[in-house]
């Protein structure tokens, strides 16, 4: 092993220092954190449980004392024993109202055993002592609390319950009223609003601390999640209450909590502590017993949130000091063994970058840096030799590239000139719009090739007392499409010269035959498969009719603001796969005032756009035509151009677009 190697020496030094500092830091961290968490966590949980116990006792003691005094009132007892005596009732209701104002919730109730009447007042006009609110019934599950209290409770009871008759959920102070012989003759007390009770007693403003109130059976009587308390308050009969055991994750924790409840109830200790897993999280729990009301308060402490990070400041300082020592040591080693030699190499590289190749690093060490320096010196020598020849080669290649670019520009210019001339030729075969307008009431035309020239074209020709108007879409775009359009236009003229225009279907069939013959479809000469789609109309204004035949392009027209479609045959013209014997159907449309006719290639239907980049589509196009059919031709053209532009957005045009609209 080469102990002069920079890599070996560097790794050995780092491993030694890191192992030493890590062992010391880990030991210190373990000792300090265990001691702090165990000591502070337990102390804090116990004090918090006692604090919550005192807070709860203080909160209910006043109302409980008032309820006990009220139950021993001679005035109230006389009225309960003689409910129908007006004088007793007047004195009793006055005393009840005075007590009500002293209760925290400003509410008070009285239930009379003899009549079963239940009185309740909260100071509002709705709830008064003038009349009983309802009559208790031993067979009604909603009144079971009363009969259970009369039967089982001697002095008082705190009960979280939902009163179905009053539609109120409160923490009720139920105190039996006894006559002179100690017999229970009724129940009185007050009620604390459940929301206020939970807010004041259960809700904690400190993060990481949660308080839960329990009955002696583990039923939840107070929780920050009010749904548990409300559910338990409405439980009747054999329905199951939500208990703290339902929230614990393991049977071991449930057993541990039951033992703690039994121990606290027996008075063997004041506060019980344990670690419990509630809702999937581990808490340090502290629980105390409220003997006066037979409840338990359970405080759950999330140690990670409650104990401040300042507690671990000594550990943090130890870690920072350890790593700082490590960084300083590493820095010194890197500076001596790596940075100084590399700095010398960097200065040498800067000198070479400035064009001075007569340089030597003079590093003589036997490690990797020394080997790198020797390679660097050799590289400098080789760069010097290559640089002297590189400028000459670059100049030669630059001259060749300039010459190629010039030739490419000249070639491109010739091609563009040819295409523009082809555009002029193609434009010359298209009919003159003025001539078309002279035979029609109104006309608009949207003609937009994808390239300078294209495969779409529109056709117009007068013939005796009629005229022919058509839109065609040939195979291909650009120059190939333009050649096809010029060929197709010439063949249409030839078919009309031969057959006239009495039967547009026969014209299409003849056009198919001529196209096949011209393109040598079906012979060995044909190395491609081209053709076209066309919608052709023979218009007879004097007879108020229009005769249509189409191959792939439909005729659309509006009448009385309704859009109708005359479908074309799904049989294109001129392709090898086309049926030679196919007979194209014709459709006669009677011309009426206000009718507008439309012919369009599929370029507008296939144009992508919108939020998802889908095609414009036939449905959107037909709805557009229906909206604009009543407008003048110039307005129709503007509306189509705007709708298409808005839909297309920044996406490129996919195909040649032709839309022709006219009125007769």
Phi, psi of 475 (to 5 degrees): -65, 135
β-sheet bridge partners, residue 564: 557
CA nearest to 278, candidates 266, 269, 287:
287
Phi and psi based region of residue 354 (left: phi greater than 0; alpha: psi -120 to 50; beta: remaining): alpha
The domain that contains 151 carries what CATH number? 3.30.450.20
Tokens of 188: 């009185």
The tally of domains found in the chain comes to 4
Q: Are residues 282 and 361 in the same domain?
A: no
Query: What's the residue count for the chain?
Result: 664
Q: Are residues 244 and 183 in the same domain?
A: no
Nearest Cα to Cα of residue 601 among 513, 518, 508, 477: 477
Tell which of 373, 406, 429 closes a domain: 429
> What's the distance, Cα to Cα, between the start and end of the chain in Å?
102
* DSSP for 394-406, written as a single string: HHHHHHHHHHHHH
Name residue, tokens 């102390």. Answer: 43
Residue 204 within a domain? no
- Provide the Cα torsion 614, 618, 623, 624; round to 10°: 70
Residue 508 sits at φ, ψ, to 5 deg, of -65, -40
Q: Which residues have C-beta within 8 Å of that of residue 174, sequence separation ≥ 6?
A: 145, 149, 153, 156, 157, 158, 159, 187, 189
pLDDT score, position 554: 97
Q: Provide the domain limits for residue 300.
A: 8-58+210-219+238-340
Q: Show the tokens assigned to 218.
A: 């583990």
Is residue 230, in this structure, part of any structural domain at all? no
Q: Low-confidence residues of the chain, pLDDT below 50?
A: none
Based on the domain organization, do 647 and 521 belong to the same domain? yes
In angstroms, the CA 604 to CA 207 distance is 64
Start-end of H helices in 187-312: 194-197, 226-233, 244-247, 251-265, 303-306
User: 3-state SS of 543-567?
Assistant: HCEEEEEEEECCEEEEECCEEEEEC
- Is the Cβ–Cβ distance between 214 and 244 less than 8 Å? yes
Q: Which helix (H) or strand (E) holds 75?
A: helix 74-81
Please give the DSSP secondary-structure letter assigned to residue 42: H
Please answer whether residues 187 and 146 qualify as being in contact, where contact means their C-beta atoms are separated by less than 8 angstroms: yes
Residues 485, 373 share a domain? no
Same-domain status, 191 and 262:
no
Q: Is residue 145 included in any domain, yes or no?
A: yes
What pLDDT, on a 0 to 100 scale, did the predictor assign at position 390? 75
Is 572 within a domain?
yes
Take residue 57 and report the two structure tokens written for it.
């006792």
Residues 399 and 480 in one domain: no
Does a structural domain hold residue 616? Answer: yes
Per-residue exposure over 404-438, b if at least 16 CB sit within 10 Å of its own CB, e if not = eeeeeeeeeeeeeeeeeebbeebeeeebeeeebee
CB atoms within 10 A of CB 398: 10
3-state secondary structure of 21: helix
Q: How far apart are CA 101 and CA 116, in angstroms?
A: 25
Tokens (6 digits) for 21: 């500092």
- Strands 134-135 and 157-163 come out as unpaired
What pLDDT is attached to residue 306? 60
SS (H, E, C) 282-318: EEEEEEEEECCCCEEEEEEECHHHHCCHHHHHHHHHH
Q: What is the pLDDT of residue 579?
A: 87
Answer whether residue 647 is part of any domain. Answer: yes
Boundary residue ending a domain (340, 364, 398): 340
Whichever domain contains 464, its CATH number is 3.60.40.10
Please give the Cα distance from 510 to 496 (Å, whole number).
9
Residues 496 and 548 in one domain: yes
Residues 6+ apart with CB under 8 A from 189: 67, 70, 71, 108, 109, 156, 172, 173, 174, 175
Question: Does the predicted TM-score (pTM) go above 0.75?
Answer: no
Residue 651's pLDDT is 94
The encoded tokens of residue 353 equal 């970058």
Residue ending a domain, choose from 279, 311, 340? 340
Same-domain check for residues 248 and 293:
yes
455 and 359 co-located in one domain: no
Which residue's structure tokens are 């919730």?
Answer: 105
For residue 646 the two structure tokens come to 């808005």
Same domain flag for 412 and 376: yes
Tens-place pLDDT, residues 325-378: 777 777 677 766 665 666 666 667 677 666 666 666 666 666 777 677 667 666
How far apart, in whole angstroms, are the C-alpha atoms of residue 550 and residue 532? 11
pLDDT tens column, 203-261: 666 677 888 888 778 888 777 777 877 777 777 767 788 888 888 888 888 888 888 88
Please tell me the predicted confidence (pLDDT) of residue 386. Answer: 73
| Residue 225 domain-assigned (yes or no) | no
Which of 108, 102, 105 shows the shortest CA–CA distance to 120? 108
Residue pointed to by tokens 């659309």: 556
Which residues touch 169 (CB under 8 Å, ≥6 apart)? 160, 161, 162, 163, 194, 229, 230, 233, 234
Q: What pLDDT, on a 0 to 100 scale, did the predictor assign at position 362?
A: 62
Looking at the structure, do residues 404 and 504 belong to the same domain, yes or no?
no
Provide the sign of the torsion angle of the four alpha carbons 69, 74, 76, 77, taken in this order: positive
Whether 345 maps to a domain, the answer reads: no
Q: Are residues 644 and 513 in the same domain?
A: yes
The pLDDT of residue 320: 67
| Separation of alpha carbons 594 and 384, rounded Å | 87
């Amino acid at each position: 092993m080469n102990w002069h190697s920079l890599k070996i020496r560097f790794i050995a030094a780092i491993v030694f220092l890191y192992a030493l500092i890590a062992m010391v830091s880990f030991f210190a961290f373990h000792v300090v954190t265990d001691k702090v968490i165990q000591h502070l966590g337990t102390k804090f949980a116990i004090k918090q449980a006692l604090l919550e116990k005192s807070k709860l006792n203080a909160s209910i003691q006043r109302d409980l004392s008032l309820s006990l005094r009220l139950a021993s009132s001679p005035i109230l007892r006389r009225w309960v024993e003689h409910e129908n005596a007006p004088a007793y009732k007047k004195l009793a209701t006055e005393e009840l109202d005075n007590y009500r104002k002293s209760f925290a919730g400003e509410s008070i109730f009285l239930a009379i055993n003899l009549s079963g009447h239940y009185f309740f007042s909260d100071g509002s006009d709705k709830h008064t002592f003038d009349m009983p609110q309802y009559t208790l019934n031993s067979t009604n599950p909603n009144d079971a609390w009363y009969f259970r209290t009369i039967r089982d409770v001697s002095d008082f009871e705190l009960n979280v319950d939902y009163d179905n008759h009053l539609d109120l959920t409160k923490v009720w102070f139920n105190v039996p009223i006894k006559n002179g012989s100690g017999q229970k003759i009724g129940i009185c007390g007050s009620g604390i609003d459940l929301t206020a009770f939970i807010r004041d007693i259960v809700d904690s403003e400190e993060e990481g601390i949660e308080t839960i109130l329990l009955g002696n059976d583990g039923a939840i009587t107070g929780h920050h999640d009010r749904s548990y308390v409300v559910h338990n308050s409405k439980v009747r009969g054999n329905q199951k209450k939500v208990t703290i055991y339902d929230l614990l994750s393991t049977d071991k924790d449930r057993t541990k909590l039951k033992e703690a409840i039994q121990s606290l109830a027996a008075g063997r200790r004041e506060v019980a502590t344990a670690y419990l897993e509630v809702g999937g999280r581990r808490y340090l729990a502290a629980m105390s017993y409220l003997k006066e009301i037979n409840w338990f308060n359970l405080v759950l402490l999330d140690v990670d949130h409650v104990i401040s990070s300042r507690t671990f400041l000594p550990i943090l300082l130890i870690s920072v000091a350890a790593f700082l020592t490590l960084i300083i040591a590493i820095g010194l080693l890197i500076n001596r063994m790596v940075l100084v030699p590399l700095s010398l190499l960097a200065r040498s590289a800067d000198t070479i970058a400035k064009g001075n190749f007569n340089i030597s690093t003079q590093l003589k060490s036997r490690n990797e840096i020394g080997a790198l320096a020797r390679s660097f010196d050799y590289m400098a020598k080789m760069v010097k030799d290559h640089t002297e020849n590189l400028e000459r080669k670059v100049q030669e290649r630059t001259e060749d590239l300039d010459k190629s670019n010039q030739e490419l520009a000249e070639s491109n210019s010739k091609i563009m000139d040819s295409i523009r001339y082809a555009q002029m030729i193609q434009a010359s075969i298209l009919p003159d719009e003025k001539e078309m307008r002279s035979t029609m009431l109104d006309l608009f035309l949207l003609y937009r090739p994808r390239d300078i020239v294209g495969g779409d074209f529109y056709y117009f020709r007068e013939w005796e007392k009629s005229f022919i108007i058509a839109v065609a879409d040939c195979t291909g775009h650009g120059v190939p499409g333009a050649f096809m359009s010029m060929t197709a236009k010439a063949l249409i003229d030839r078919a009309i010269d031969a057959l006239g225009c009495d039967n547009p279907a026969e014209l299409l069939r003849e056009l198919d035959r001529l196209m096949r013959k011209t393109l040598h479809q079906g012979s060995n000469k044909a190395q491609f498969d081209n053709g076209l789609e066309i919608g052709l109309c023979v218009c007879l204004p004097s007879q108020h009719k229009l005769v249509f035949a189409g191959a792939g392009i439909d005729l659309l027209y509006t009448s009385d603001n309704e859009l109708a479609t005359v479908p074309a045959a799904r049989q294109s013209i001129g392709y090898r796969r086309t049926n030679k014997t196919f007979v194209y159907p014709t459709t006669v449309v009677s011309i009426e005032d206000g009718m507008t006719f439309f012919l369009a290639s599929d370029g507008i239907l296939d144009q992508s756009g919108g939020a998802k980049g889908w095609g414009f589509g036939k449905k959107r196009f037909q709805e557009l035509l229906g909206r604009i059919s009543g407008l003048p031709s110039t307005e129709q053209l503007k509306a189509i151009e705007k709708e298409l532009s808005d839909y297309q957005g920044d996406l490129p045009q996919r195909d040649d677009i032709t839309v022709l609209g006219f009125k007769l």
